[in-house]
Structure 1
């Protein structure tokens, strides 16, 4: 198995978040796809109530479940601060590939703000000459995978990135708006731990993705690529345990970190996605290197490091006999 490393936001090379036609490409290369649901949000200050200003960026405050009050842009996208930047004096260090994943909030004129102390709002000149908005001296950014109101996936990417509060401070996970509650789990849910996505070679299949225990990971074609939802609950999730996560995800060096994401399941937990597909392990894989779930029900397939399903025509060399049912989707 390849050595794993923490996901470094500065190394992610994504330009937007959406559906692509070619499997194995970055699934976030264009706009328009349905995005994963992340942290719930209740917008306190609708963008329409902020005074308009030609050429000006607008900031609003919003309450994000689990984070409390944070800043967002006029479209409701959560704003973030970067630990490697400086506030005194203001300096932006996220450029190049980093800025593709974390687009800086730029403005042609002093930014307008609602629910924010105007004295905290400023700007800094970026290396490319653009003027970036600062809050409390900190340059602020969006996250490329946050493509709608309430998405705050950037909060968990690495210790260097955090949502920013109206005071310019880091938002702290664990704060709650008190207005949202998760639905009852449809299957037993234990504490989710930080996950490691690795790779291993399985006889007959080639390299496949694995979890930190070395177990093969699978996608379920009924979920749909980039759907932002998992359709495997109840008995299905007992046979195919979803790869849950509540912290940082680390990935093997052979895996493009831009393929890694997460969605919120119906029970309120977060599930890892790869290439836009929610991923699962298989309860009938008894040891690392097994892939007994590949091809089950013609709907379950091992996942390549590219985020694609392994060719259905391939079969593991030592596959156990597994009863399948196309009508049940192989549960």
Structure 2
């Protein structure tokens, strides 16, 4: 019996080691999207695949069963702006996750009214490391010290939060929750105000838990039903990988898969945001060979296919855009098996 058990354990260990060394790295972290490679998860990552515990609900968020002594927080990194067809320009964190503001907060002086269970459903965005998006006045960014000592990011005085039910970049399920929570615009105002579609303030307002259907794409396509990563047939490029918003996914020729390294850092990430980890079960039509999470030197987690880091392009404004194709002779769309599409041989 012991001999059989030892053999099984040895086989399991060998399989794990093979998956980790396939990308030229030797140590693994938590499992998220595939096999995570590198350092441990950053602060704020939850114990389930969605990031912060998808069990929280109403306007304040009833966090039944949550036993953490301190509510989760989120690291902002390089802030970006997402051009939402429903909400207009929406402020996001370095992973492309929507940032929110709370009507019951105050700005003069800045003060948060979201504590306890509320802060479990609406994780606080910390101020440390926050960098403004291109074209946004840095003086708009500030901080407020919460009762627990955490310094929370403010934009034009409004404290910033994420929403526990937003599972991936492009989600805005917190919009209109309780009639008090709204996605934030780059200047700290409500993103719903002045949105081009005229739907803004109504998105999600009819659902107490924010489970509204997110529509995406200037071409009228619905992207809410898209998996985290899937395949789209482009009329010029053929089959290419797209993210959960239907946006084209790219690779950078200066990156390396063996060993896994990135050559896109700093200002590069403002134009080429990383694709955040996507659970392997939330994909369709793509290869899962080398489907691992890359722990970047800057602390971000990045999804890979065949060990190649994946990005989107800030110049793509709607699903179907491929404006990043061939940029600099080094950026190309990605095929379902992780290869470059249209790159010179």
- Sort the TM-score into its range (normalised by shorter chain): 0.3 to 0.5
> Greater relative contact order (Cα 8 A, min sep 6): structure 1 or 2?
1
Greater strand proportion: 1
Taking structure 2 as the reference length, what is the TM-score of the superposition? 0.39
Taking structure 1 as the reference length, what is the TM-score of the superposition? 0.40
